[in-house]
Amino acid sequence: MPTTTPAGRRQAAMQLPPLRDGDAQAIDAFLDSAWAERGLARQTLDSYRRDLAMLARWRNGAAGGLAAMDRQGLHEYLAWRTRAGYSPRSNDRLLSVLRAFFGHLLQRGLRSDDPTALIERPRQGRLLPRALTESQVDALLAAPDPATPEGLRDKAMLELVYACGLRVSELVALPANAVNLRQGVLRVTGKGGKERLVPLGEEAQHWLERYLREALPALAGGRRVPAGPGGEVPMFIGPRLVAPTRQAFWNTVKQHAAAAGIDPARVTPHGMRHSFATHLLNRGADLRALQMLLGHSSLSTTQIYTLVAREKLKQLHARHHPRA
């Protein structure tokens, strides 16, 4: 039977042998090329590394290792992942990484064929984004206690995520100089290092101003906030004067969801972004404008939110129409 839990998948991965040096070098060369030629974000490169390293560990140097994988070997690996409980969506993402990796080898004359060429993408249903209702968002945003520095920080972060539709990685990486309070806009660096300007809105701007004026000095305690890895001072800080991690903010969202009476299992940081997009579209926002606000490179990515709006209309029709 498949091991469908995250813990089960981690256990299956931990049972694999260590990564061999030759495979590690091949992965490093590919990632260096992907960073230089495509400008991929660090999180994307880290994800690519994990996927390729796991395949290489499963292969364990057999028949030339990772760079020499054939189609049959890839089929066997995908079957192993399926038995271990990895979803079709996860395997589809893996195939995208493998196509890029073997395309890199082909381009440099290190292979004469692409073993992924005839592998079909796994069939999967189209998952609609899980969004909160507007009343649930109101309850979640009201949960932090702004009378404390930590509560005021959490309040500002939640307001900002919902007002600007930020990815959690964009939120925790925000530098202190990303906001222009006079113009009421936020400069966001998204995937691939692409920048976009997003309006703050009056409510988010109010809480951000309060955080910067009241909570930030209290959290810093008179100490100088050091610059982060990118050389910029973080906007949001914790007790150690560093930006919160994505996992830390995830826990923050769960904590305040529980306090607001919302099932924490239904609330994620990315769900706040989905709520932002869905609520805007339900209130008549233009799809192209929504694409710009979300930082999507393709309109087709944004169009999934039209399915959410359509589903809501169907539910309203079923609930209220006499012949539904």
- Just list the catalytic residues: 167, 191, 270, 273, 296, 305
Give the SS3 label for residue 215: helix
The H or E element spanning position 180 is strand 179-180
Beta strand pairing status for 195-199 and 179-180? unpaired
- Integer Cα distance of 282 and 305 in angstroms: 9
Using alpha carbons, list the distances in angstroms from residue 122 to 8, 93, 317: 21, 10, 34
Which H or E run includes 179? strand 179-180
CB 30 within 8 A of CB 52: yes
Give yes or no for a contact between 256 and 158, defined as CB atoms under 8 angstroms apart: yes
Sequence-ordered alpha helix ranges (H) in the chain: 6-14, 21-38, 42-59, 71-83, 88-107, 134-141, 149-164, 168-172, 202-210, 216-220, 246-259, 269-282, 287-294, 299-302, 304-320
Q: Which are the contacts of 22, defined by CB distance < 8 A and separation ≥ 6?
A: 61, 65
